[in-house]
Amino acid sequence: MPYIKIKLSNNGKKAFKLLMDELKISISQAQKLIDKKRLFCNGNLVEEKNQFLDGLVELIVYQNEPKGIEIVYENEDFAVIEKPSGVLSHPNGRNCTYSLCDEIWHLWGEKACVAHRLDKETSGLILVAKHKFAQIELKTMFEKRLVQKSYLALVEGKTKAQFRVDESMDLAKDYDNVKTRMCICKNGKKAITDFQSLEFFENLNASLVLAKPLTGRQHQIRLHLFHVKHKILGEPLYGLEKIQIEQILDGKMSETERIQTTGAKRLLLHSFSLEFKYKNKNFLIQSQKNIKDEFLENLS
């Protein structure tokens, strides 16, 4: 399990001071660990940063369990890796057993982090900042739309050769506890995606499309394709009943049922390229995966 408890030596110090000395971290980092409810004394949660600790002191930490990851590009500031489908970009709680952080922290230490995120079922390129300066620079670039991204998707039906979807969107407010579902909303946030058809598979009645989001909304490509009646094969949210969504998200639907329900074992969406300028150097990094064949393999 990635989250484990480790014992710390106890010299009767204040909570924040003990963490600073034991872990060689700053006061703000120590206070953050306490705020995250990671520190315990004699089995009791430590909530006061100035509390003097007397007894058994334990800290919950994330233990990396890497499985191996493909590095597409790397320099002293950042790396680009291939995220497999089904892997979280970042641990989502104490019950998370594996995420990209297992790989990133194993390779480059805990100061490294993803500069953006991909949905759990979306595969493909993701940019990793190796240190704080790169993290600030790269995240700012994403916020300012200075990183051009493209995706490949296998979708239902035959699409137009080229088309644009310009539909504002927002978080759905009436879908009970499925909080990640987005909806088309006239008063929502601006969202534009350009699409190009690359290949039509007549026997499957499916199209391989290249998607270029001009804005960066959650589920933008997925929702825009669903809106124009070209749902991505394997889509676990849009167009399904709530009970089906919950079965997929909770891992309670078999592969056979998933294929029958959504058309594929996984969401057939792949982050294909990242294009940006960093330190006056232009980068165009493309996925090395034969994603078309991978998509087709997930249909049965």
* Residues tagged active-site: 119
Dist CA 215 CA 299 (whole Å)? 30
Residue type, 68: G
Q: Do residues 199 and 127 make contact, with C-beta atoms less than 8 angstroms apart? A: no
| Tokens matching residue 77 | 């500031």
Instruction: Give 60's strand partners.
Output: 5
Single out the residue of 116, 148, 128, 100 nearest to residue 2, CA to CA: 100
Q: Do residues 186 and 168 make contact, with C-beta atoms less than 8 angstroms apart? A: yes
Residue type, 237: L
Q: Do residues 149 and 273 make contact, with C-beta atoms less than 8 angstroms apart? A: yes
| Tokens matching residue 11 | 């010299």
Sign of the C-alpha dihedral, residues 181, 186, 191, 196?
positive
Q: How far is CA 72 from the centre of its chain?
A: 18
**Cβ neighbours of 292 (radius 10 Å):** 16
- Cβ within 8 Å of residue 257, ≥6 positions away: 247
- Maximum CA extent, the chain: 72
| Tokens matching residue 199 | 């290949």
